[in-house]
Amino acid sequence: MNCNEYVGNVHLHTTFSDGTATHEEIVRIAQSVGLDFVIPTDHNVLVKGKEGWYGNTLLLVGEEVHDTQRVPEVNHYLAFDITEDVASYAKDPQAVIDAVNAQGGFGFIAHPFERSAPLANEAALPWVDWSVTGYTGLELWNYMSEFKAHLPNMLQAILLVYFPQIAMCGPFPETLARWDELLRTKRVVAICGSDAHAKTYRLGPLSRKVFSYRHLFQASNLHILSEETFNGELEHDKEVIYGALRRGRCFIVYGLLGNARGFRFKARSSVAEAIMGDAITLQSQIVFEVSSPQRAHIRLLKNGTVVARTRGKELRYTAREPGVYRVEAHRRCFFRERGWVFTNPIYVKQRV
């Protein structure tokens, strides 16, 4: 199966909420670093009239919804492919999800797990209402959430703001564990979010934008795979992106550890083929193939447990059992291995 690969950045903020750049400025920065698409999601407002192609970058608009009256303001939901604002439902997370779905949209639980960030003077804002249903997936890796969790004191904060690669390790183990747990019973698509605001923080005598849109557009990216090619028409190209996100045909990349364009995770039975996000029926066996454009520590996990690993660019594994199979690739940077690529699963179903 030949797929187009498009690279973009989702979950970020503009001047319509608490970001520091306009949609037009953001898409210009995205284009300058070669992103194919960018999807701002302002807090509790659906900004209309901005979507379209700006040079080589497609701008789509989503919404991040949460109850601003609640203390702390937990339960943030990222809504996509909607035409009407859903902020009026914010008091009830299930009502938000239902309202998004009723419009034909879909969405993700944002930063499901967070640690409080005393230095950034911001409370932890996890998802707490896990009884909800009807969401498409969750934000496995929120770049700003992870970064803030690494700021135990001012000295480290100053260091890490200038060398974020020392801090970033990967999704929180708690979020990975929750995802694997949810995957036991249903499809759950994972995405990453940069959560870019580009606010300026003052650290003693220093002041620094943490982080610039440019930095985050090179660090926290979502690669989508689609058999369809962009044709320059907004509605068609929007469906290319949103179709892939709904199906989980996408993978998460921490771009500062290396270019991951071309990373693939495939499965083959005697009668069918699958890529990440797909389901495939178990015949006598399923052959998995992982190929990476860079050397990495590649791990194949079944139901959350590593079943095969290699250091290199290729991994092959023959499975004889149904389960949820996904791939992680880690690379070394600043004295330790850090998360580089996280794919969505291939769901191997029992033959009936």
For Zn ion, the binding residues (CB under 5 A) are 64, 76, 110, 195
End-to-end CA distance of the chain: 25
Q: How far is the CB of 115 from Zn ion (least distance, A)?
A: 14
DSSP states of 271-314: S-EEETT-EEE-SS-EEEEEEEEEEEEEEEEETTEEEEEEEEEE
Name the helix (H) or strand (E) containing 349.
strand 346-349
> Based on the number of CB atoms within 10 Å of its own CB, is 275 exposed (0-12), middle (13-18) or buried (19 or more)?
buried
Q: Which is nearer to Zn ion, 76 or 247 (CB)?
A: 76
Q: How far is the CB of 43 from Zn ion (least distance, A)?
A: 7
Q: What is the DSSP letter of 104?
A: T
Q: How far is the CB of 10 from Zn ion (least distance, A)?
A: 10
Contact predicate 231/238, CB 8 Å:
no
Q: How far is the CB of 147 from Zn ion (least distance, A)?
A: 13
Q: Which is nearer to Zn ion, 109 or 260 (CB)?
A: 109
Q: How far is the CB of 77 from Zn ion (least distance, A)?
A: 9
3-state SS class at 205 = coil
- Helical H runs in 46-171? 93-102, 143-149, 154-162
Q: How far is the CB of 238 from Zn ion (least distance, A)?
A: 21
Q: Which is nearer to Zn ion, 110 or 240 (CB)?
A: 110
Q: How far is the CB of 114 from Zn ion (least distance, A)?
A: 9
**Sign of the alpha-carbon torsion through 202, 207, 213, 219:** negative
Using CA atoms, how far residue 26 sits from 38, 83, 118, 200, in Å, is: 8, 21, 29, 16
Q: Which is nearer to Zn ion, 100 or 110 (CB)?
A: 110
Q: How far is the CB of 193 from Zn ion (least distance, A)?
A: 7
Q: Which is nearer to Zn ion, 76 or 223 (CB)?
A: 76
Residue corresponding to tokens 């509605």: 235
Q: Which is nearer to Zn ion, 18 or 289 (CB)?
A: 18
Q: For residue 232, how many other CB atoms are within 10 A of its CB?
A: 8
Angstrom distance (rounded) from CA 54 to CA 204: 39
Find the residue with minimal CB distance to Zn ion. 76
Angstrom distance (rounded) from CA 8 to CA 105: 19
C-alpha 75, offset from chain centre: 17
Residue corresponding to tokens 């230095």: 119
Q: Which is nearer to Zn ion, 39 or 182 (CB)?
A: 39
Q: Strand 137-142 relative to strand 77-80: parallel, antiparallel, unpaired?
A: unpaired
Q: Which is nearer to Zn ion, 76 or 249 (CB)?
A: 76
Q: Which is nearer to Zn ion, 110 or 290 (CB)?
A: 110
Contacts of 27 (CB under 8 A, 6+ apart): 38, 54, 57, 59
Q: How far is the CB of 111 from Zn ion (least distance, A)?
A: 6
